[in-house]
């Protein structure tokens, strides 16, 4: 410390000859990868990685160029690590929380109709009709899904890539976690609506969740080439809100999957389910 003219202590002036503190390699790696991930999340992943310019990333991350190239000696090496990072993160971001909330809202709006088997089925149809179309739109419009598709296309176009196995392993891990979460959601949701898996599935909701996810993603790809068919409206079964409801193709596909995997639960306790839902919603159950 030095003194100012008034005698008060003053911080010493920085010495221009003194080298700045070195950024640890782990922090350099994290900063550059974070900047690249933000860019991918903003505009998606392109197969040729033209939007990945190392010097731009280095400048935005505020790290030394020399330190960065000690970590990755080429753009290809960096892209490989970035793809592993994307593979870990992308599948986890495919969950559409808005659809889950929408499904619950439809349930709560018609909670008293769950007491009757026919009306309960129509509530189920309304959830599938409305929520699945919302999920389909949300997924195909999301950067996470577009990056997932781009990453899958990248792997297919680089069959002899040395890093392929590691990227696939990271993608598999993220996908497995996603399927587990969705399987648990479908288990709870089907139980609330009085359905259970057919005996041949041994209580395992993962195949069901996997098929639903594949239907949504597959129609998302088909939408690119046949939007008129995929986006059209079709006649479907009556729901709790309409006797002549219009259905989107993804919802019709899910209904077909649902009917193959699930069946009515003979032990369903409608009164207990209704009371539980009302309690969760802060409503007074009927006496």
The residue range of the domain holding 53 is 22-73
Question: In this structure, are 126 and 54 located in the same domain?
Answer: no
In the prediction, which pLDDT does 170 show?
80
Tell me whether residue 26 is in a domain.
Answer: yes
Question: SS3 for 244-263, per residue?
Answer: CCEEEHHHHHHHHHHHHHEE
Question: In this structure, are 63 and 205 located in the same domain?
Answer: no
Question: In this structure, are 68 and 120 located in the same domain?
Answer: no
In the prediction, which pLDDT does 47 show?
54
Q: Which ranges of the chain have pLDDT less than 50?
A: 1-19
In the prediction, which pLDDT does 196 show?
97
Tell me whether residue 102 is in a domain.
Answer: yes
Question: In this structure, are 243 and 272 located in the same domain?
Answer: yes
H helix runs in the chain, sequence order: 25-43, 54-61, 65-71, 75-90, 97-109, 117-141, 143-157, 164-192, 206-225, 227-230, 249-261, 270-281
Question: What domain count does the chain have?
Answer: 2
Question: In this structure, are 271 and 237 located in the same domain?
Answer: yes
Question: In this structure, are 175 and 260 located in the same domain?
Answer: yes
HSE of 16 in the Cβ direction (CA atoms, 13 Å)?
0
CA separation for the pair 286, 248 (Å, rounded): 36
In the prediction, which pLDDT does 161 show?
67
In the prediction, which pLDDT does 158 show?
65
Question: In this structure, are 41 and 173 located in the same domain?
Answer: no
Helix axes 75-90, 25-43, angle to 10 degrees: 70
Question: In this structure, are 124 and 158 located in the same domain?
Answer: yes
DSSP assignment string, 203-272 = T--HHHHHHHHHHHHHHHHHHHH-HHHHT-EEE----SS-SS-EEEHHHHHHHHHHHHHEEE-TT--HHH
Question: In this structure, are 66 and 98 located in the same domain?
Answer: no
Query: What CATH number is given to the structural domain containing 55?
Result: 1.10.10
User: Could you give the 3-state DSSP secondary structure of residue 68?
Assistant: helix
In the prediction, which pLDDT does 116 show?
95
Distance of CA 64 to the CA centre of its chain: 34
In the prediction, which pLDDT does 64 show?
92
Neighbouring C-beta atoms of residue 44, cutoff 10 Å: 17
Neighbouring C-beta atoms of residue 41, cutoff 10 Å: 17
In the prediction, which pLDDT does 184 show?
94
Question: In this structure, are 180 and 261 located in the same domain?
Answer: yes
Distance of CA 262 to the CA centre of its chain: 24
Structure token pair of residue 221: 């790809």
Question: In this structure, are 121 and 202 located in the same domain?
Answer: yes
């Amino acid at each position: 410390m030095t003194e100012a003219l008034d005698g008060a202590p003053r911080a010493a002036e920085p010495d221009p000859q003194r080298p700045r503190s070195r950024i640890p390699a782990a922090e350099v790696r994290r900063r550059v990868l974070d900047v690249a991930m933000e860019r991918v999340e903003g505009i998606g992943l392109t197969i040729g990685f033209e939007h990945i310019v190392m010097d731009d990333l280095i400048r935005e991350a505020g790290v030394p160029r020399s330190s960065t190239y000690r970590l990755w000696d080429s753009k290809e090496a960096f892209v490989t690590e970035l793809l592993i990072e994307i593979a870990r993160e992308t599948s986890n971001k495919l969950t559409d929380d808005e659809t889950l909330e929408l499904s619950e809202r439809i349930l709560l709006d018609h909670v008293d109709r769950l007491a009757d088997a026919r009306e309960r089925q129509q509530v189920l149809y309304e959830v599938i009709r409305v929520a699945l179309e919302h999920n389909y739109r949300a997924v195909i419009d999301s950067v996470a899904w577009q990056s997932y598709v781009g990453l899958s296309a990248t792997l297919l176009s680089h069959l002899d890539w040395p890093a392929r196995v590691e990227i696939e392993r990271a993608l598999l891990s993220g996908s497995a976690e996603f399927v587990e979460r969705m399987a648990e959601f479908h288990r709870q949701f089907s139980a609330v609506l009085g359905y259970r898996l057919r005996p041949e599935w041994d209580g395992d909701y993962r195949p069901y969740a996997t098929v639903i996810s594949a239907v949504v993603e597959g129609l998302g790809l088909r939408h690119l080439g046949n939007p008129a068919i995929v986006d059209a409206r079709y006649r479907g079964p009556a729901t709790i809100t309409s006797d002549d409801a219009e259905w989107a193709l993804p919802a019709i596909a899910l209904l077909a999957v649902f009917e193959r995997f699930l069946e009515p639960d003979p032990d369903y306790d409608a009164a207990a389910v209704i009371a539980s839902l009302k309690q969760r919603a802060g409503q007074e159950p009927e006496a």
